[in-house]
């Protein structure tokens, strides 16, 4: 099978195919170093989620001055990197009517869509493409993986709120209004997805390690299958076509990943043979991944965070989403109590419950802090990896007790390649979650042809 | 009808108290004296009725507050609903509205009140909304196999362990989700295909002497794909294996392959040959290609058909018949075979079904009925419990449930398995012996092994395998009092009368219990430690002090307390954790009372019609892989009329579901 034909098919499928013919690294970013001027690393954008809101007194800084000098307990763990962080009050969530009875189905599903599910089709998935996937559609073409979706817990929570599809409960990434993007929960699979094998530093046996690398023969075989599928597609009615497109799309991205991995192997070989100068000598070497043996939640979340760091550091992807915990079903035995997160958030002012919730929030932010501190420790170009990232941590409720969404809690870390003015707490930005996503994507250099969800503007106050 | 509603007046009145509630069966009671308005029976009637009576009612009493404006009062907006009342989006809204109006909650005090006749008309209207829907089988978009369907299919084709698909992510049911496929999944499919081929390579070999199945040496050829290899004619081992491709694809695509599809498969063969792979290896690459093809991973139609206008001359014309049946077609025979076998077996159709489909006979009602009987008697129908029964009983996450092992050290793997199997065996017994669904609620036998007998406190059969045991105690028998269900509706360390009450109302009787208001914490979870000194009953009765909670809990709690004699893992007890004697008697809001589990069960069984309808509705939704709406309600009405005459026997219920209009037809969305 000739490569050119492959490209034709991909081009048909998504229109970004032409980029694939070029060596990936020449397309954007890194390769500008060639002509001896300083290269500018690409901006990466990541999202990390915690459900059920925060204890407000524990989370919001007292005022903009106090943010750096005496940060609130919830973000204590971020202290070393607070100068790289932004907090902002005054981001409201999507109004939930007519789904007032579905606070938890909506908190995650609206988080990156800033859109309500279509009430007329509530039993199906019908919402909107999410911000991470919008980003992936644009910058995804430049990396082996368009985006990376991770989750700590399986996305199989079965609860139906207000007749909404159960999928809304545990998903925040939507490739299209009707298609969820499932997240990976097994770190080993993530490694193999990133590098086609069990990865660096892992000493585990390969017994349960996933997929053997895909061979060129498989690729050519897939190409024939893809051709057959396209013939089938032409004969199908339109609703079936849409379903089949999801299949075609996934074949296409597998092919692209194979091509990208081959490209990287080639480069590595050239570098080894001295045929190519190492232009990124200033950068830190790739971090090591150690997959924990036990099932401690903190260790597990940290390895997922590490994988996120590694994926950004090695430019395997520029977009990530990590559902650190899903609404309902989570508990934190590590913190010394076995209560479910959700039951404690309905504290009605009970001190002991509020304390437990505060601990859970701190715990989640600690994992986020682990990730951004690591990014801050890695050198990249003239600065750090974190300088070139936009990492958003947040929740889909403000107060889990009352299910309010007036001031959604967010922490943004990273300077977005110099586009964000960090080290500040903004006391009232008067925006909504769509505005925030629109702003962050714009800072990441994603051209948007329309606002995200309920957005009406960008929040200029965040920008540098 | 063999089973006229006998005593359910108690429950019916409660309905109004519940405020938000499935009223369909109840309003007739409210309306029994004066039928002022004739009940519409056709779509035209229903539309006229709606315009003439319902719209003026809404305009007079509702719309001032509940209209297009921000913020909408209580999130209820009738502006769009009066234009498209039949839209599925408003189904719930109508139910709620009818319930509130029936309960005199709405319009609120102080505003102009409708007359009793008007009120009654509005409440009655709710059950007629279905007549507004056009006859429509609903969409049946090509569907990807679920994880377990995929695993079972591989097992049926190759004889591999279904665990081979373990690396696929778990999925949630729901039409939208199941159809999604991610890049990661495709890679997993490819990797699993590779694993299957590696495992089966020794038997995926053609032979010099082609073998007939009888003469196969090791029995390993007894799976369809391996058989294809062992029967491969040795003399044909040179040219392109066209016949092999044809047979392979019929198996793997579960329908005859098109000429084009066969050619693609032969291209794969040629590709392998060009890479100097051996003949067998090349055949295996064809298998691999089929394993990652959409035609394998999705259930696709035979000759993908464009929507045919007026494809069906409808025999039924009285209800909601669309003048143009645009884009509605019967399923083709092979699609029906797949739908049927994935419904009952969660796996591919066997050769028998395929042959009937080839002969074009599967659409015949009697053939379909015979197949249902055959399939339900097959051991593969276990999938119906694992997929449907367990979900219905709330046991689908049974393996992941946690128990406080310090209180319940006996809840080990064996015990869990025994509890799950007890429920499964009862379900399977009702299915295979074609008993009435009522036998699920009350039976005088169950299945025990040595381990589970401890829970029952009886001298049961020794050993590990569960055996049918006659029950002497009428408090036991049936799903309501089964340890697995009782444990699944409890907290890890103690019972939850509320969970149990909700479970009985929703899963058994099909009531719609509204969630607690958003700022109300679940009382029980909250006071777990703090209020140890209160008995569970005292604790739960706190609900009823608060009028917001009381409305629902005065119904939920008594039912839950009726089961309090069973502890959090289903053991009988006379005293609770605080050593207080259990009081399992209860009084429902209308004054009816019962003294314990046996009487509670009898009361539930008194509403057999409601239970049967709820059960059948859930089964229909499972079969269609979507929730029921609009025209489906009329379909369900018809099914219920029919199966009531058959004493709600389970096989009759399944037969009625698979021969129903939405199961045998599909709507195709045309291009625009």
Q: What are the phi and psi torsion angles at B557 (to 5°)?
A: -60, -45
Of A195, A188, A194, which is closest to residue A209 (Cα–Cα)? A188
Find the domain containing A403 and state its range. 41-198+286-462
A75 vs chain B: nearest CA distance in angstroms? Answer: 26
Instruction: Find the CB nearest A228 among B75, B139, B264.
Output: B264
Give yes or no for a cis peptide into A335 (omega within 30° of 0). Answer: no
Instruction: Kindly state whether residues A48 and A191 are assigned to the same domain.
Output: yes
Say yes or no: A258 and A228 in one domain: yes
Return the pLDDT at B39.
53
Within 10 angstroms of residue B79's Cβ, the number of other Cβ atoms is 13
Measured CA to CA, the distance from residue B183 to residue B191 in angstroms comes to 12
Cβ distance B17 to B591 under 8 Å? no
Domain ranges of chain B: 9-132, 143-299, 386-605
| Most confident range, picked from A3-7, B173-177, B615-619 | B615-619
Return d(Cα B171, Cα B190) in angstroms, integer.
19
* CA–CA gap between residue B511 and residue B502 (Å, rounded): 9
| CA dihedral sign of residues A59, A64, A65, A67 | positive
- Residue range B481-534, pLDDT digits in tens: 999 999 999 988 888 888 999 899 888 988 767 666 555 555 544 444 444 556
B180 touching A (Cβ < 8 Å): yes
Contact of A208 with A188, CB cutoff 8 Å: yes
pLDDT at B276 over 80: yes
In this prediction the ipTM stands at 0.74
Distance CA A86, CA A102 (A): 30
Task: Please tell me if residue A32 touches chain B, with a CB cutoff of 8 Å.
Answer: no
Tens digit of each residue's pLDDT (9 = 90 or more) over B426-469: 999 999 999 999 999 999 999 999 999 999 988 877 788 999 99
Q: A13 and A109 in one domain?
A: no
Hey, which residues 210-239 in chain A have their CB within 8 Å of chain B? 210-212, 214, 217-218, 220-222, 224-225, 227-229, 231-232, 235-239
Q: Are B160 and B199 in contact (CB under 8 A)?
A: yes
Q: Which one of B173, B178, B184, B291 makes the best mutation probe of the A interface by having the most chain A beta carbons within 10 Å?
A: B184
Taking contacts as CB-CB distances below 8 angstroms, the residues of chain A near B255 are none
DSSP strand E in B246-359: where?
Answer: 298-299, 328-330
Residues A180 and A229 in one domain: no
Q: Which of A326-335, A401-410, B57-66, B129-138 has the highest mean pLDDT?
A: A401-410
Give the burial class of B567: count Cβ atoms within 10 A of its Cβ; 0-12 exposed, 13-18 middle, 19 or more buried. buried
| Residue B547 confidence (pLDDT) above 50 | yes
DSSP notation for B136-170: ---B---EEPPHHHHHHHHHHHH---GGGGTTSPP
Cβ distance B293 to A225 less than 8 Å, yes or no, reads yes
Q: How far apart are CA B41 and CA B316, in angstroms?
A: 13
CA distance B26 to B610: 11
| Closest approach of A148 to chain B, Cα-based (Å) | 10
Residues A308 and A426 in one domain: yes
Q: What tokens appear for B326 in the block?
A: 């645009």
> If residue B434 lies in a helix (H) or strand (E), which one and from where to where?
none
Q: Is A299 in the same domain as A251?
A: no
Q: Are A224 and A249 part of one and the same domain?
A: yes
Cα distance between residue A58 and residue A52, in whole Å: 15
Of residues B141, B144, B306, nearest to A239 (C-beta): B141
Distance CA B200, CA B313 (A): 49
- The Cβ-side half-sphere exposure at A421, using a 13 Å CA radius, reads 10
CB distance from B177 to chain A under 8 Å?
yes
Domain-embedded: residue A34: no
The encoded tokens of residue B111 equal 């505003």
Neighbours of B52 (CB within 10 A): 10
Contacts with B210 (C-beta within 8 Å, 6 or more apart), sequence order: B230, B231, B232, B233, B234
On whether residue A36 sits in a domain, the answer given is no
Name the more confident of B234 and B211.
B234
- Interchain contact A137–B (C-beta under 8 A): no
Half-sphere exposure of A337 (CA within 13 A, CB side): 16
* Residue A395 vs residue B329, higher pLDDT: A395
CA atoms within 13 A on the CB side of B73: 12
- Same domain assignment for residues A295 and A443: yes
Could you tell me if A128 and A252 lie in one domain? no
Chain A and chain B share a number of CB contacts under 8 A equal to 223
**Identity of the residue in A184, A238, A244 whose CB atom sits nearest the CB atom of B294:** A244
Residue B443: Cβ within 10 Å count: 18
Contact A159, A105 (CB under 8 A): yes
Structure tokens at A160: 């139906």
> Rounded to the nearest 5 degrees, what angle is found at the Cα of B474, between the Cα atoms of B469 and B478?
65
Percent of chain B at pLDDT > 70 equals 78
CB contact under 8 A, A401 and B179: no
Indicate whether A378 belongs to any domain.
Answer: yes
Token representation of residue B480: 């309501």
The beta-carbon neighbor of B172 closest among A145, A155, A221 is A155
Question: Which domain-ending residue is among A243, A265, A280?
Answer: A280
A92 and A120 co-located in one domain:
yes
Residues of chain A short of pLDDT 70, as ranges, are 1-39, 195-214, 253-282
Say yes or no for a CB contact (<8 Å) between B190 and A222: yes
Task: Give me the residue from A178, A232, A253 closest to B176, CB to CB.
Answer: A178
Q: For residues A54 and A71, what is the distance between their CA atoms, to the nearest angstrom?
A: 15
Burial of B226 (0-12, 13-18, 19+ CB in 10 A): buried
HEC sequence for chain A: CCHHHHHHHHHHHHCCCHHHHCCHHHHCCHHHHHHCCCCCCCCEEEEEECCCECCHHHHCCCCCCHHHHCCCHHHHHHHHHHHHEEEECCEECCCCCCCCCCHHHHHHHCCCCCCCCCHHHCCCCCCCCCHHHHHHHHHHHHCCCCCEEEECCCCCCCCCCCCCCCHHHHCCCEEECCEECCCECCHHHHHHHHHCCCCCCCCCCCCCCCCCCCCHHHHHHHHHHHHHHHHHHHHCCHHHHHHHHHHHHHHHHHHHHHHHHHHHHHHHHHHHCCCCCCCCCCCCCCCCCCCCCCCCHHHHHHHHHHHHHHHHHCCCCCEEEEECCCCCCCECHHHCCCCEHHHHHCCCCCHHHHHHHHHHHHHHHHHHHHHHHHHHHCEECCEECHHHEEEEEECCCCECCCCECCCCCEEEECCHHHCECCCEEECCCCEEHHHHHHHHHHHCCCCCCCCCCCCCCCCHHHEC
Tell me how far apart the alpha carbons of residues A127 and A109 are, in angstroms, rounded to a whole number.
Answer: 8
Q: Could you tell me if A352 and A55 are in contact, meaning their C-beta atoms sit under 8 angstroms apart?
A: no
Tell me the Ramachandran region of residue B451: left when phi exceeds 0, alpha when psi lies from -120 to 50, beta otherwise.
alpha
Between B473 and B549, the higher pLDDT residue: B473
Residues of B in contact with A181 (CB under 8 A): 180, 182
Residues A190-199: contacts with CB under 8 Å, at least 24 apart: A190/A148, A190/A150, A190/A304, A190/A307, A191/A289, A191/A291, A191/A307, A193/A145, A193/A257, A193/B184, A193/B187, A194/A144, A194/A145, A194/A148, A194/A307, A194/A310, A194/A311, A194/A314, A194/A316, A195/A261, A195/A316, A196/A261, A199/A289
H-helix or E-strand spanning residue B446 = strand B445-448
Looking at the complex, does the CB of residue B67 fall below 8 Å from at least one CB of chain A? Answer: no
Asked if A182 and B167 come within 8 Å (Cβ–Cβ), the reply is no
Total domain count, chain A: 2
* Whole-angstrom distance, CA of residue B335 vs CA of residue B340: 8
Q: How far is CA A84 from CA A1, A80, A412, A436, B330, in A?
A: 49, 9, 8, 17, 62
Instruction: Give φ, ψ of B17 to 5 degrees.
Output: -65, -35
Give the mean pLDDT of B80-98: 77
Average pLDDT of the segment spanning B404-416 = 91
Asked if B566 and B478 count as a contact pair (C-beta separation under 8 A), the reply is: no
Kindly report the nearest CA distance between residue A344 and chain B, in angstroms.
Answer: 8
Partner A, chain B 90-149, Cβ-Cβ below 8 Å? 92-93, 139, 141-144
Alpha-carbon distance A76 to nearest alpha carbon in chain B (angstroms): 28
Mean pLDDT value across residues B124-142: 76
Q: What is the pLDDT of residue B519?
A: 52
A420 and A355 co-located in one domain: yes
| CATH code, domain with A302 | 3.40.720.10
A275 touching B (Cβ < 8 Å): no
Which pLDDT does position A36 carry in this prediction?
A: 47
Chain A CB contacts of B72 under 8 Å are: 97-98
What is the CB neighbour count within 10 angstroms for residue B53?
Answer: 18
pLDDT of B244 above 90? yes
8 A C-beta contact, residue B367 and residue B359 = no
Domain boundary among A280, A315, A336: A280
- A35 occurs within a structural domain: no
How far is Cα of residue A353 from the mean position of the Cα atoms in its chain?
30
Q: Do A210 and B188 touch (CB under 8 A)?
A: yes
Q: Are residues A384 and A296 in the same domain?
A: yes
Model confidence at B671, pLDDT cuts 50, 70, 90, reads: low
DSSP characters over B535-573:
-HHHHHHGGGGSHHHHHHHHHHHHHHHTTTTB-TTS-B-
CA B545/CA B10 separation, integer angstroms: 22
DSSP-derived pairing of the beta strands A319-323 and A44-49: parallel
Asked if A98 lies within 8 A of B77 by C-beta distance, the reply is: yes
What span, in angstroms and rounded, lies between the C-alpha atoms of A162 and B464? 43
By Cβ distance, the residue of B170, B629, B671 closest to A238 is B671
What letter would DSSP give residue B378? S
Q: How confident is the model at residue B9 (pLDDT cuts 50, 70, 90)?
A: very low
Whether B194 and chain A come into contact, CB under 8 Å, resolves to yes
Which of the listed residues A260, A280, A300 is the one where a domain comes to its end? A280
- Asked if the Cβ–Cβ distance from A250 to B88 is below 8 Å, we say no
Shortest Cα–Cα distance, B481 to chain A (Å)? 23
What 3-state class would DSSP assign to B435?
coil
The DSSP call for residue B619 is: H
């Amino acid at each position: 099978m000739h490569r050119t034909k492959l490209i034709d098919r991909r081009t048909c499928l998504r229109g970004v195919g032409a980029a694939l013919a070029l060596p990936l690294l020449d397309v954007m970013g890194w390769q500008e170093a060639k002509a001896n001027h300083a290269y500018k690393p690409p901006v990466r954008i990541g999202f990390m989620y915690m459900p059920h809101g925060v204890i407000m007194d524990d989370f919001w800084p007292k005022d903009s001055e106090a943010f750096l000098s005496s940060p609130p307990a919830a973000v204590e763990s971020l202290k070393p990197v607070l100068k790289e962080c932004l907090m902002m009050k005054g981001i409201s969530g999507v109004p939930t009517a007519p789904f007032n009875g579905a606070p938890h189905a909506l908190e995650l599903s609206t988080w990156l869509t800033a859109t309500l599910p279509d009430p007329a089709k509530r039993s199906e998935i019908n919402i909107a493409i999410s911000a991470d996937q919008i980003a992936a559609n644009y910058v995804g073409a430049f990396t082996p993986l368009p985006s990376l979706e991770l989750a700590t817990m399986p996305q199989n929570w079965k609860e139906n709120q207000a007749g909404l599809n159960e999928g809304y409960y545990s998903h925040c990434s939507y490739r299209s209004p009707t298609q969820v993007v499932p997240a990976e929960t097994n770190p080993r699979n993530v490694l193999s997805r990133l590098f086609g094998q069990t990865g660096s530093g892992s000493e585990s046996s390969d017994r349960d390690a996933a997929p053997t690398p895909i061979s060129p023969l498989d690729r050519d075989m897939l190409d024939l299958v893809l051709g057959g599928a396209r013939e089938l597609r032409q004969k199908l009615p339109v609703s079936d076509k849409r379903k089949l497109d999801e299949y075609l799309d996934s074949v296409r991205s597998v092919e692209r990943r194979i091509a990208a991995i081959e490209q990287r192997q080639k480069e590595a070989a050239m570098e080894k043979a001295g045929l190519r100068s190492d232009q990124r000598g200033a950068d830190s070497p790739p971090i090591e991944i150690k997959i924990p043996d036990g099932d401690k939640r903190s260790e597990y979340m940290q390895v997922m965070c590490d994988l996120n760091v590694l994926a950004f550091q090695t430019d395997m992807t520029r977009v990530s989403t990590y559902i650190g915990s899903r609404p309902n079903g989570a508990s934190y035995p590590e913190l010394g109590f076995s209560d479910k997160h959700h039951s404690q958030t309905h504290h009605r002012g009970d001190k002991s419950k509020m304390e437990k919730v505060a601990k859970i929030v701190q715990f989640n932010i600690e994992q986020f802090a682990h990730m951004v501190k690591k990014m801050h420790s890695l050198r990249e170009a003239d600065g750090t990896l974190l300088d070139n990232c936009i990492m958003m941590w947040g929740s889909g409720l403000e107060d889990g007790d009352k299910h309010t969404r007036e001031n959604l809690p967010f922490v943004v870390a990273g300077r977005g390649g110099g586009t964000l003015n960090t080290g500040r707490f903004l006391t009232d930005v008067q925006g909504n979650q769509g505005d925030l996503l629109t702003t962050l994507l714009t800072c990441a250099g994603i051209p948007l042809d329309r606002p995200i969800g309920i957005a009406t503007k960008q929040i200029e106050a965040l920008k540098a | 009808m063999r089973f006229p509603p006998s005593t359910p007046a108690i429950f019916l009145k409660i309905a109004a108290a519940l405020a938000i509630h499935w009223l369909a069966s109840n309003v007739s009671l409210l309306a029994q004296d004066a039928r002022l308005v004739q009940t519409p029976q056709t779509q035209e009637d229903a539309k006229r009725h709606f315009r003439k009576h319902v719209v003026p009612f809404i305009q007079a009493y509702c719309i001032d507050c509940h209209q297009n404006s921000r913020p909408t009062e209580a999130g209820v907006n009738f502006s769009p609903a009066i234009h498209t009342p039949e839209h599925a989006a408003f189904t719930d809204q109508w139910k709620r509205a009818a319930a509130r109006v029936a309960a005199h909650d709405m319009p609120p005090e102080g505003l102009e009140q409708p007359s009793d006749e008007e009120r009654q008309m509005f409440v009655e209207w709710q059950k007629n909304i279905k007549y507004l829907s056009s006859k429509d089988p609903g969409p049946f978009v090509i569907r990807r196999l679920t994880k377990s369907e995929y695993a079972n299919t591989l097992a049926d084709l190759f004889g591999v362990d279904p665990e081979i698909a373990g690396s696929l992510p778990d999925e949630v049911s729901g039409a939208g989700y199941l159809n999604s496929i991610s890049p990661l999944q495709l890679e997993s499919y490819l990797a699993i295909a590779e694993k299957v081929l590696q495992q089966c390579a020794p038997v995926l070999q053609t032979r010099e002497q082609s073998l007939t199945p009888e003469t196969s040496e090791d029995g390993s050829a007894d799976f369809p794909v391996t058989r294809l290899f062992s029967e491969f004619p040795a003399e044909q081992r040179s040219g392109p294996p066209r016949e092999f491709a044809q047979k392979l694809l019929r198996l793997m695509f579960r329908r005859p392959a098109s000429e084009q599809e066969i050619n693609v498969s032969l291209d794969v063969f040629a590709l392998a040959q060009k890479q100097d792979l051996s003949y067998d290896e090349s055949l295996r690459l064809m298998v691999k290609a089929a394993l990652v093809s959409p035609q394998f991973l999705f259930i696709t139609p035979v000759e993908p058909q464009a929507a045919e206008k007026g494809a069906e001359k409808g025999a039924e014309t009285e209800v909601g018949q669309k003048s143009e049946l645009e884009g509605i077609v019967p399923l083709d025979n092979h699609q029906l075979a797949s739908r049927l076998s994935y419904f009952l077996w969660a796996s591919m159709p066997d050769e028998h079904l395929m042959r009937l489909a080839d002969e074009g006979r599967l659409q015949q009602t009697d053939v379909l009925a015979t197949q249902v009987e055959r399939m339900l008697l097959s051991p593969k129908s276990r999938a119906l419990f694992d997929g449907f029964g367990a979900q219905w009983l709330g046991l689908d996450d049974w393996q992941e449930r946690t128990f406080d092992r310090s209180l319940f050290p006996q809840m080990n793997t064996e015990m869990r398995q025994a509890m799950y199997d007890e429920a499964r065996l009862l379900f399977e017994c009702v299915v295979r012996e074609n008993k009435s669904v009522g036998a699920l609620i009350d039976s005088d036998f169950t299945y025990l092994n040595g381990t589970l007998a401890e829970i029952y406190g009886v001298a049961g059969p020794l050993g590990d395998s569960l055996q049918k045991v006659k029950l002497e105690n009428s408090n036991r028998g049936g799903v309501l009092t089964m340890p697995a269900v009782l444990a699944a509706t409890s907290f890890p360390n103690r019972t939850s009368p509320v969970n149990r009450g909700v479970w009985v109302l929703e899963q058994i009787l099909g009531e719609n219990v509204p969630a607690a208001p958003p700022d109300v914490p679940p009382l029980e979870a909250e006071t777990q430690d703090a209020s140890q000194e209160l008995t569970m009953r005292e604790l739960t009765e706190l609900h009823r002090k608060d009028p917001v909670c009381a409305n629902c809990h005065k119904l939920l709690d008594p039912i839950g307390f009726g089961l309090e004699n069973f502890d959090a893992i289903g053991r009988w007890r006379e005293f609770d954790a605080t050593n207080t004697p259990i009081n399992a008697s209860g009084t429902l809001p209308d004054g009816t009372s019962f003294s314990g589990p046996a009487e509670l069960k009898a009361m539930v069984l008194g509403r057999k019609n409601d239970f049967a309808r709820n059960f059948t509705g859930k089964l229909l939704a499972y079969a269609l892989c979507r929730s029921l709406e609009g025209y489906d309600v009329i379909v369900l009405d018809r099914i219920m009329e029919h199966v009531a005459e058959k004493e709600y026997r389970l096989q009759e219920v399944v037969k009625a579901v698979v021969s129903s209009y939405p199961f045998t037809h599909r709507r195709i969305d045309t291009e625009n």
